[in-house]
Amino acid sequence: MEVLLESGGERVALVRINRPEARNALNSAVREQLARIFVELAGNDEIRCVVVTGTEKVFAAGADIKAMADAQPVDMMLRAGERNWAPIKDFPKPLIAAVNGFALGGGCELAMHADMIIAGASAKFAQPEIKVGIIPGAGGTQRLLRAVGKFKAMKILLTGEMVSAQEAEAMGLVTEVVPDGEVLDRALALARSIALLPPLAARKIKELVLQGGDLPLEAALVMERHAFHLMFATADQKEGMQAFIDKRSPNFKGL
C-alpha cells in the first residue's frame, strides 16, 4: 500500500504517504487510497483528530507528471480527480499536516487541505506547475490566495519557486516550524491535545472557519451565533462548564 493508516494514540489517526521511490508523488493510486481512508476516518467516532504526513525526507512532491504528459482535456476531465480530493476537502474533523522535506505541487495542495501545518526547518513549499506548462489543479491558486494574500501567492504561482519553511511561516502558510526530527512528534502531540477536547465543538469551529471566511461578516456572525447556541444542547457543554466550576479535568464524550 502506498498510503498507510496507523494509530497516533489517544483517538488520533496517522495517515502516512509511503512512496519514497517516487518522492511520494500523488499518482491515482495514492489519491484513491487517501480518499478511501478519509471516508473511513470521517465515519469513525473513535477518531477525533488526524495527522497526515509523508516520509522523513519528502511530504509529497506533487502529481505524477509521466502519467499526465500525453493526456488530453477529456482524459483529465474523465479522471475526475476532484472526487478523490473531496473526502479530504470535506473532512469534518481537525486535520494536521506534518511536513518534512518537499511539499510541491499537489503535495503543497494536500498540506493546504489541512487545518494546521507543522513544518520541519528544512521543509520547502512550492506550486511549480507553471514550469511544466500547466496550473495548479487541486485548489492551489485559491487556497494559497486565501492563506497568504494576493502578492505572495502571485510570486509563488507565477515563478514556481520554492519557499522555505521560515518564509512560509512568516507569510501565514505554516502554523509552526520545528526542528526536522521533531515534526511528527509535535504534530501528534498537538493532535492528542485536540482529541481531549469536545469533538462536536471542534467540528463546528472548523466548519465556521472554512465556511464563514468567504461570507460577508454579518452573515458569518449570524452563522457563528447559531452554532454557539447549539453547543448548549450538548452533554459536553454541561460537562465542561461543571468541571470548570468543580475545578477538575473534564471528560468529553462527544455528545
Name the burial class of residue 133, with classes exposed (0-12), middle (13-18) and buried (19+) by CB atoms within 10 angstroms of its CB: exposed
Catalytic residue, chosen from 109, 138, 202, 240, is 109
Active site residue 167: no
Q: Which residue out of 63, 97, 119, 201 is catalytically annotated? A: 63
Asked whether the beta carbons of 200 and 212 are under 8 A apart, the reply is no
Q: Of the listed 13, 98, 129, 138, which one is catalytic? A: 129
**Exposed/middle/buried for 66, CB within 10 Å: 0-12, 13-18, 19+?**
exposed
Q: Does 137 participate in catalysis according to the annotation?
A: no
Catalytic residue among 105, 106, 107, 240: 106
Q: Which residues contact 148 (CB under 8 A, 6 or more apart)?
A: 156, 171, 172, 173
Q: For this structure, is 98 an active site residue?
A: no
Active-site residue 109, yes or no? yes
Active site residues: 63, 106, 109, 129
